[in-house]
Amino acid sequence: MSAPSMWRRTRVDRVATVNARIGWKALTASEYQPEGYAFLATPNIKLEVIDFENVNYISRYRYDESPELKLQVNDVLLAKDGNTLGITNIIRQLPKPATVNGSIAVLRAFDIEPRFLRYCLASSSTQDLINAIKDGMGVPHLFQWDIKRLPITIPPLDEQRRIADFLDVETAQIDELVSLRNKQVNALSEALLSEATRCTGRHRLSLEEQQMEWRRVQLRRVVDAVRTGMTPSEFLQVNANYDHIPWYTPAALDNALNLGKADKGVHVADVRHVPRFPAGSILIVGIGESLGKVAALDHEATGNQQLTAITTSNAVDRRFLLWQLFAAHEELRNWAQYSRVRILNNDVLKSFTISIPAVAQQLVLRKELDCRLAEFRAFRVAAERFSRLASERRGSLITAAVTGQIDVTSARRLSSSGGATS
């Protein structure tokens, strides 16, 4: 569909300046300071509201070194490197003096409404061009030359502002719905953890209260084996198939007992060279930021040195122990040795205190928790689908508005009266 007759074809550098940090001015982590001038990176601009708090800081000298990158209200930011390439945002308010790192380009409008420019960059037509440019690159990257020559179609300035106003309202409503759904997921996740803490006796254990007929024992008393993995570089293969056993890393474990796919595997002929995790084990992360995450393993596998496999004895129901370790996530993290990196070695892990009732009661309690988990997972899947559809709707709305496919004045009237917006 062609744009309305009053719209004109142009390109980014004819309506805005484009600047980015040049190579010889690149900063290193050693130059960061406890305070100073905010130094935004791509994670800071991923959400609709730019994060000015969780930032690194640089010196006044480095801030003044690139005056063209001293951020101003209405500057448009575009991620130009790595996996976040193409993410765009706009400075709506500037709570502190700030600049950007080498992965972000700063676009300063001089002949276009800044918000309209931001929405143009976020449209599928521009994002498709960006993806075409980065295809085939080992490390995705946009040069300033590429950004400057991105084509856009723009209406008169007053129409740009009407479109930007319309999209500000509509996208904010979509974002709020997604945010509310995410809050629901988080609330249910916290409720699941609370229920696990209650059902597994961790709440009493943390208060040093002894439940009648529950035993307090060290983990070593209810396990047959504890094995930690390794990284056998010479045997790892990508795209492993049926004649491989999966090699897991902490990335495969989430916060809800799920075990995702393994990116690599070890051929069955080479498994004698690696620690083997038997089917029926409990996987637990013992090193790093993911320490304490757990998942059930229902097939033979192996893993890297951050993963440990626990094989339970007949003294405990495996899933009950899984749930107790899940409930004890923060306790395990505090229990771990901590210097520069958190470490939960096997001896320390085996000395961790657990609380167990009779096996029959373990079965009743863990079945109750398994039902709660199934309900939570179903809701989370529905929430993820909602977020995905909302994101698609958001993108389609932006693209339609900035290419003149919808009359935003009519759409706004329909929206305010409860009708469709397109």
Do 8-154 and 215-356 come out as alike in CATH topology?
Answer: yes
Range 312-318 contact pairs with CB under 8 angstroms and sequence separation of 24 or more: 312/222, 312/223, 312/224, 312/280, 312/282, 313/222, 313/223, 313/224, 315/221, 315/222, 315/356, 315/359, 316/222, 316/356, 316/359, 316/362, 317/359, 317/362, 317/363, 317/366, 318/280, 318/282
Q: Which two tokens stand for residue 390?
A: 């909302």
Q: Compute mean pLDDT per 10 residues along the chain, 422 residues long, and list them.
A: 82 97 75 94 94 96 95 98 92 97 96 98 95 79 94 97 97 96 97 96 65 84 96 83 90 94 90 94 94 96 96 96 96 79 89 93 97 97 97 96 89 52 42
pTM for the full predicted model = 0.82
pLDDT, position 30: 87
pLDDT, position 283: 98
Structural contact between residues 114 and 76, judged by C-beta atoms closer than 8 angstroms = yes
Nearest to 221, CA basis, from 323, 326, 331, 356: 356
Taking domain 8-154, whether its CATH number is 3.90.220.20 is answered by: yes
Residue 257 backbone phi and psi in degrees, to 5: 70, 10
Class of domain 215-356 (CATH, top level): alpha beta
pLDDT, position 421: 43
Nearest to 323, CA basis, from 363, 285, 272, 360: 363
Structural contact between residues 337 and 348, judged by C-beta atoms closer than 8 angstroms = yes
Q: Domain residues of the chain, as ranges? A: 8-154, 156-196+359-422, 215-356
Q: Which two tokens stand for residue 199?
A: 């059902």
Pairing of strands 302-303, 244-248: parallel
Decide: helix, strand or coil at residue 115.
helix
pLDDT, position 257: 96
**pLDDT tens string 42-74:** 999 999 999 999 999 999 999 999 999 999 999
pLDDT, position 135: 74
Ranges of beta strands (E only) in 81-235 are: 88-90, 98-100, 104-109, 151-154, 215-218, 223-228
pLDDT, position 243: 86
